[in-house]
Amino acid sequence: MKAVGDLPFLPYGRQTVDEDDIREVIEVLKSDWLTTGPKVEEFEATFAESVGAECAVAVNSGTAALHCAMYALGVGPGDEVVVPPMTFAATANCVVFQGATPVFADVTPGTLLLDPARVDACINPRTKAILCVDYAGQPCDYDVLGEIARSHGIPLVADACHSLGGGYKGRPVGTLADISVFSFHPVKHITTGEGGMLTTNHPSLATRARNFRNHGISGDARRRSENGSWYYEMTDLGFNYRLTDFQCALGISQLSKLRGFVLQRQVLAGHYHRGFSLIPEITPLLVRPEVSHAYHLYVVALDQDRLSADRNKIFAALRAQGIGVNVHYIPVHLHPYYRQRFGTGPGMCPVAETSYERILSLPIFPAMSPGDVETVVDRVGDLVDRYRHPSAQQ
């Protein structure tokens, strides 16, 4: 990690890749199959088992997995999909890829998770699906969202890119919605460089996703080659969203370490909680008792009434000290593309908009130590002391 001042630069997130992982990749590079070979099926089977899902489909990004989900569910022009604004743009973009309209439902203060009451209010005959996001790694209220989806006869999709390894009421993320979607970008829980996965207990949806990731061609090249057949049929328009065999080898190796990675994230979060319990100007996101939080992000909100510095000033001061804070996210409905194309804008999701002004993501990744957390808490505490509003001082 790059040194800045007297502190090594702490990014907000980074991968943990070891010699075992590297060996597995090299093995595949020396084999006959670089892509769409045995490692893809092995990764899918291992992943499905690890989250308790019936089917898993590997693709080359989380965004591709989201697109496959929208295609598999038949989302198309004229349809609407309810999404939260407090997410990465890809969550809403996948709806637009299919010619449909994302409808932004606001989040709940405290957790910044999709507010079920707001979702219910957005549903109309055009609504084709609800797409929720386990923001920061905390699973949504799946019983309530699932009931809303069922009562309207529409599917629930989980953007679980933050919550791999997490759980809700004792059930693992990956089985909580009709389709769940994961990303293996280096900042996520496990990595394949770029990569993603879709899980479902509906085999017909998995088959549609599989065809879509391979140009809309049914079956796969390896089987055809084993059968010595040249014949194939393209039955729909798809994309090349395939994940390579050497990336799947990395994924299998990484997956074997997932439990430890998540545990370490939870330990670090515990240290942050304890540190910030002594700093009333800093409020970590609320964690509901029924979840196992996977802590992709550790997000805090600044109490702007008690501080003379705004979030941007605190952000810049921490960055200048080598602490790689970040902001997740600019609410998607405020991006120029969405404003221009869909007429969205300020005032549509007030909770997300006001929260956005106050939040900071602090470094959290498995290779960090509790000492690193202490350093971050101390630096944040020093800034709070420096900028505490005079009227708030005793």
Ligand X SMILES: *Cc1c(COP(=O)(O)O)cnc(C)c1O
Active site residues: 188
Q: Taking CB under 6 A as the rule, does residue 178 contact ligand X? A: no
Query: Of these, 39, 67, 128, 185, which contacts ligand X (CB under 6 A)?
Result: 185
Q: Up-side HSE of residue 387: CA atoms within 13 Å toward CB?
A: 24
- Give the shortest CB-66-to-ligand X separation in angstroms: 6
Burial of 120 (0-12, 13-18, 19+ CB in 10 A): middle
Q: Which stretch binds ligand X (CB under 6 A): 82-90, 209-217, 262-270, 346-354?
A: 82-90
Closest distance to ligand X from the beta carbon of 132 (Å) = 10
For 276-284, the CB contacts below 8 A with 24+ separation are 276/300, 276/377, 276/380, 278/381, 279/377, 279/380, 279/381, 279/384, 280/306, 281/306, 281/307, 281/384, 281/388, 281/392, 282/380, 282/384
Q: How many CB atoms lie within 10 A of CB 354?
A: 12
- Of the listed pieces 8-16, 51-59, 83-91, 251-259, which binds ligand X according to CB under 6 A? 83-91
Our finding on whether 133 is near ligand X (CB under 6 A) is yes
* Total interface residues for ligand X by CB under 6 A: 14
Place of tokens 């319990």: 277
Q: Which residue is nearest to ligand X (CB)?
A: 62
Beta-strand runs (E) in the chain: 3-4, 7-8, 55-59, 80-83, 101-104, 127-133, 156-159, 167-168, 171-172, 179-183, 196-200, 282-284, 291-292, 298-302, 359-362
Q: Report in angstroms how near the CB of residue 182 gets to ligand X at its nearest.
A: 8
The distance of closest approach from Cβ of residue 264 to ligand X in the complex, given in angstroms and rounded to an integer, is 19
Contact 225, 326 (CB under 8 A): no
**Per CB under 6 A, 162 contacts ligand X:** yes
Give the binding range for ligand X (CB under 6 A) out of 27-35, 156-164, 218-226, 231-239: 156-164
Compute the least distance from the CB of residue 1 to ligand X, in Å. Answer: 22
**Nearest CB to ligand X, comparing residues 128 and 162:** 162
Instruction: Between 107 and 282, name the residue whose CB sits nearer to ligand X.
Output: 107
Q: Is 83 in the site for ligand X (CB under 6 A)?
A: no
Q: Considering the complex, what minimum distance in angstroms separates the CB of residue 156 from ligand X?
A: 16
Q: For residues 387 and 329, give the distance between their C-alpha atoms in angstroms, rounded to a whole number.
A: 24
Closest CA to 283 of 164, 27, 109, 43: 109
What is the token pair recorded at 186?
Answer: 């280096």
Q: For ligand X, which is the closer residue by CB, 131 or 268?
A: 131
Q: How far apart are CA 199 and CA 173, in angstroms?
A: 10
Cα–Cα distance, 292 to 138 (Å, whole number): 7
Distance between CA 343 and CA 1 in Å, rounded? Answer: 42
User: Which of 48, 57, 132, 161 is in the footprint of ligand X by CB under 6 A?
Assistant: 161
Does position 189 interact with ligand X (CB under 6 A)? The reply is: no
Least distance CB 334 / ligand X (angstroms) = 16
Q: Considering the rule CB under 6 A, would residue 198 count as an interface residue with ligand X?
A: no
Question: Residues near 266 by Cβ (< 8 Å), separated by ≥ 6?
Answer: 293, 295
- Look up residue 281 and give its amino acid: E
User: By CB under 6 A, which span of 2-10, 14-22, 86-94, 206-214 interacts with ligand X?
Assistant: 86-94
Burial class (CB in 10 A: 0-12, 13-18, 19+), 38: middle
* CB 150 within 8 Å of CB 174: no
91 touches ligand X by CB under 6 A? yes
- Of 88, 261, 295, 356, the one binding ligand X (CB under 6 A) is 88
Comparison of 93 and 264: residue with beta carbon closer to ligand X: 93
Stretch 239-278 residues interacting with ligand X (CB under 6 A): none
Q: Which stretch binds ligand X (CB under 6 A): 154-162, 165-173, 200-208, 368-376?
A: 154-162
Instruction: Check if the beta carbon of residue 223 is closer than 8 Å to that of residue 201.
Output: no
Contacts with ligand X in 44-73 (CB under 6 A)?
61-63
CA distance 245 to 171: 30
Q: Please, what is the minimum distance in Å from the beta carbon of residue 299 to ligand X? A: 13
* Among residues 15, 87, 214, 375, the one that binds ligand X under rule CB under 6 A: 87
Residue choice 101, 175, 183, 361 for contact with ligand X (CB under 6 A) = 183
Footprint on this chain of ligand X (rule: CB under 6 A): 61-63, 87-88, 90-91, 133, 159, 161-162, 183, 185, 196
